[in-house]
Amino acid sequence: MKKTIQFLTIQLIFFIVGCSSFNKNILRETLTSQKEKIRSVMEKPEEFELQIIYTEIIRDDNHQVKFKDYTYNLNAKNYFYPASTVKLPIAVLALEKLNSIRKTSINSEFSIEGTIDKFKFSEEISKVFAVSDNDASNRLLEFVGFDYLNKSMTDKGLQDFKVIHRLSTPDSGNPVTKGIILYKDDNSVVEIPSVISKPRAQLQLEKMKKGIGYMKDDKLISTPFDFSGKNYYSLESLHSTMKRIVFPEAFKENQRFHLSKNDREFILFSLQNLPKNAGYDPVEFYDGFGKFLMFGDTKSPMPENIKIYNKVGDAYGTLIDCAYIVDEKNKIEFMVSTTILVNKDGIFNDDTYEYEEIGLPFLAELGRQLYDKNLKKKSN
């Protein structure tokens, strides 16, 4: 009885403040579902620090695109760890920066100071989106640089963003980016010097300290884990980044990513490409490996008529997915971005998170429910 009252209270709160009050609110209908995978989270959404943006895509007779956004608990001032979602702008801005250098292309190669290996931009970007490869992303970041990355996002109107460290590598916060040797398509070579990035102030947001403790050197530190020295990427800025990539014509010129037609097509292809199609083991890297929404709780193959252009992230008990979901057969398209924290014991760095039990089932069911409601809407 107590859980029922709690859930009804959540329904009422959601109706009043959670979303814009349109006549047909698919997101609200989904989050008030009696499905256990949804209900288990919606009975106590604050515990999971849940945030969601759902976008209805409206095309007029002139093929112009407009967006109608529905949100739940969206607050750019409430911090969540963005994990691998920062790889999306890193990859895109690597191509934007490359486009500013004459006689280069997506197939140009580069080397990083201290190594003799050559890396091709197209291959590194493919790794980033197919299996969220940390090393590939970090190599691209050395080329892009912290200052270029952060300023470019701000200049495009994506202010709630700051990358101050690399991912899963020693000395990740070193502000010095390594020198780059760029091999141009005419066989000439350009040396890009090492850069010391500008000083970066710590973030001043809500929910920067989380939980009741964290593990360090196999010891429990019984104080909340402080994220103030970590990367930041609000859900709204992440969602807006995807909008700019998929629908650049809906934004002013100065808000777009400056990509060639071929480069943008490559990014879009890479966003939806499945690991098995990029040459990875389909058993280890099954279709839903990087498609949390709709397919995160299954290892079955995705239907061929559904394509998901997205970037996920998972770390410190946080799951994020930002996706443009398309079913060309049934003429369905919508966007959804969400983040959820699943860390029941409140301890960080202990590798004990409820990804499989709660997080992925919720995200998968959320995506399926939104898809099913769009399909029903089309058939009416």
DSSP annotation string for 220-244: EE-SPEE-TTS-EE-HHHHHHHHHH
How many CB atoms sit inside 10 A of residue 56's CB? 19
Distance CA 348, CA 368 (A): 30
Asked if 91 and 326 touch (Cβ cutoff 8 Å), the reply is: no
How many CB atoms sit inside 10 A of residue 367's CB? 26
Structure tokens at 300: 């079955």
Q: What share of the chain is helix, strand, coil (3-state, %, to 5)?
A: 40, 20, 40
Q: Check pLDDT > 90 for residue 51.
A: yes
Q: Which residues are bridge partners to 322 per DSSP?
A: 311, 337
Write the single-letter amino acid at 375.
L
Nearest to 236 by CA among 37, 78, 31: 78
Write the single-letter amino acid at 351.
D
212's CB contacts (< 8 A; 6+ apart) are 222, 224, 346, 347
Task: Answer left, alpha or beta for residue 229, where phi above 0 means left and psi between -120 and 50 means alpha.
Answer: alpha
Distance CA 8, CA 12 (A): 6
Give the model's pLDDT for residue 5.
44
- Give the pLDDT band of residue 62 (cuts 50, 70, 90): confident
Q: Check pLDDT > 50 for residue 356.
A: yes
Q: Check pLDDT > 70 for residue 19.
A: no
Q: Check pLDDT > 90 for residue 9.
A: no
Give the model's pLDDT for residue 58.
95
pLDDT (tens digit per residue) in 80-104: 999 999 999 999 999 999 999 999 9
Give the model's pLDDT for residue 377.
87
Give the model's pLDDT for residue 348.
98
112's CB contacts (< 8 A; 6+ apart) are 119, 139, 142, 178, 179, 180, 181
Q: Region 183-209: what's the mean pLDDT?
A: 94
Q: Check pLDDT > 90 for residue 11.
A: no
In our burial notation (b when 16+ CB lie closer than 10 A, e otherwise), range 23-52 reads: eebbbbebbbeeeebbbbbbbebeebbbbb
Distance CA 317, CA 322 (A): 17
Nearest to 98 by CA among 129, 116, 135, 124: 124
Domains of the chain from N-terminus onward: 1-50 (no CATH), 60-68+81-322 (3.40.710)
